[in-house]
Amino acid sequence: MDQRSSVDDRVIVVAPSGHDAGNTAQVLRSDGIAVQICPDLEAACVEARTGAGAFLITQESLNTRSLKHLLILLEEQPPWSDIPLILLASGYEPGAPGFASIKALGNSSAVTVLDRPLRVVTLLSAVKTSLHARRRQYQVRDLLQQRESILADLRDRAATLESSQLELMLAKEEIARHASELEQTVTERTAKLRETIAQLEAFSYSISHDMRGPLRAMQQYSQILLEDYEKRMPAEAADYLGRIFRGAHRLDRLIQDVLTYSRAARVAIPIAPVDVDKLVRDIIQQYPAFQPPKAQVQIVLPLPRVLGNEASLTQCISNLIDNAVKFSRPGETPKVRVYPGDSNGRIQICIEDNGIGIAPENQERIFNIFERVHHDREYEGTGIGLSIVKKTIERMGGDVGVESSIGRGSKFWIKLQCANGEL
């Protein structure tokens, strides 16, 4: 910067006739002004290209050739620059040699003409004024540079922004493409799933219609045979017929339970407030197996209303009471208590029995389809009842569970949303 400013602030003195240059340089230097002496204007122009605060030119150094160099230099200045020229003339007046050239210069640049002889103070004052003006130009130059760097920075940022926008646009396109692919996949899968469900429905429709027909025939013919001809056939034959009947009956129940399960898994279950108290009373009233002397099923405390599906809930609670009554100790009257509980704002309905209980290791698997703990000859069943309960309760947004230990009865519970009293 120091180097630069000394070059920028120096006065280039052009004086071909020795003495003048030396004297002038001395005067300027004594006042703290940097000076560069050049023997002719051509050399001065070369020197000025590395930096100059002002030119001090003697009239003698001006001729057609040197003037041309100077004009080129002036012409090639950057826009901010207008290098001051101080011309030391001798008899500067129209008609004097070089007057026309100087006048021409004055039209296109900042020329100060000092007529010799001149006083030191005049020279210093003119040089300082010129340097002062030159410094102003440097300030303009600096501002322009600053502006240029700010503009460059802005252009950079604009370019960066533009490229970010481009990246963003590409990313958006990419996302849109993925989204549309995903949508298409979902559409295809949904269609496939629908097709599968439709096939499954057709399958279970066919089972419920066509497979049960022959079974009904087996059941009824064996039953009719027993009723009409039992007295005329050997006991062994009657026993076999009984087995055919029970086998067909059991298979029919199995088919019905599987159908109920698959229906619970696929058919929409509309949810509405359900009066559980009335529902349980109706169930008890409907099944003689849930009434004395076969069993004692009691609602211990009034049961609240829940959000569920009445038909599905009837099936679930019937299944649970049926299990509670079925898994009793031989010779003992089943006692079943039904009562409500509260569980984190949800309603718990408990069905508690005095039966044989369930070992801890079996308590989870009994809810899986086809899982059974007992042989059919001990406790009849298809192994589907509890899985229907679980599937149905879950589809109503609820939970089902059991607490039990061997020999101490079981407590099955279902949890459903409270209906908040609206019905």
Partner 1 sequence: MTILLVEDSADDVFFMKRALKFAGTSASIQVAEDGQVAIDYLSGEGAFSNRAEFPLPTLILLDLRMPRVPGFEVLKWLRKKEAFSCLPVVILSSSREESDIRKAYSLGANSFLVKTGDSNLLVAMVKTLVEYWLKYNETPASCIETPA
Q: How far is the CB of 311 from partner 1 (least distance, A)?
A: 9
Structure tokens at 118: 């001149």
Q: How far is the CB of 174 from partner 1 (least distance, A)?
A: 45
Q: Measured from the CB atom, is 144 or 211 closer to partner 1?
A: 211
Is residue 342 within 8 Å of residue 373, measured between CB atoms? no
Q: Measured from the CB atom, is 81 or 256 closer to partner 1?
A: 256
Q: Measured from the CB atom, is 347 or 396 closer to partner 1?
A: 396
Q: Measured from the CB atom, is 268 or 423 closer to partner 1?
A: 268
Is residue 369 within 8 Å of residue 390, measured between CB atoms? no
Q: Measured from the CB atom, is 55 or 245 closer to partner 1?
A: 245
Q: Measured from the CB atom, is 63 or 220 closer to partner 1?
A: 220
Using DSSP bridges, classify how beta strands 305-308 and 272-275 pair: parallel, antiparallel or unpaired.
Answer: antiparallel
Q: How far is the CB of 308 from partner 1 (least distance, A)?
A: 17
Q: How far is the CB of 192 from partner 1 (least distance, A)?
A: 22
Q: Which helix (H) or strand (E) holds 375?
A: none
Q: How far is the CB of 206 from partner 1 (least distance, A)?
A: 9
Q: Where are the alpha helices (DSSP H) in 64-98?
A: 64-75
What does the DSSP assignment read for 19-54? HHHHHHHHHHHHTT--EEEESSHHHHHHHHTT--SE
Judged by the rule CB under 8 A, the positions of this chain that interact with partner 1 are 205, 208-210, 212-213, 215-221, 223-224, 227, 248-249, 252, 263, 267
Q: Measured from the CB atom, is 90 or 229 closer to partner 1?
A: 229
Distance CA 57, CA 66 (A): 11
Q: Which helix (H) or strand (E) holds 396?
A: none
Distance CA 137, CA 117 (A): 30
The DSSP secondary-structure symbol of 303 reads P
Q: How far is the CB of 284 from partner 1 (least distance, A)?
A: 21
Q: How far is the CB of 343 from partner 1 (least distance, A)?
A: 32
Q: In what order do the strands lie in the sheet with 296-299?
A: 296-299, 335-343, 346-353, 410-417, 399-404
For residue 160, the SS3 value is helix
Radius of gyration of the chain (CA): 56
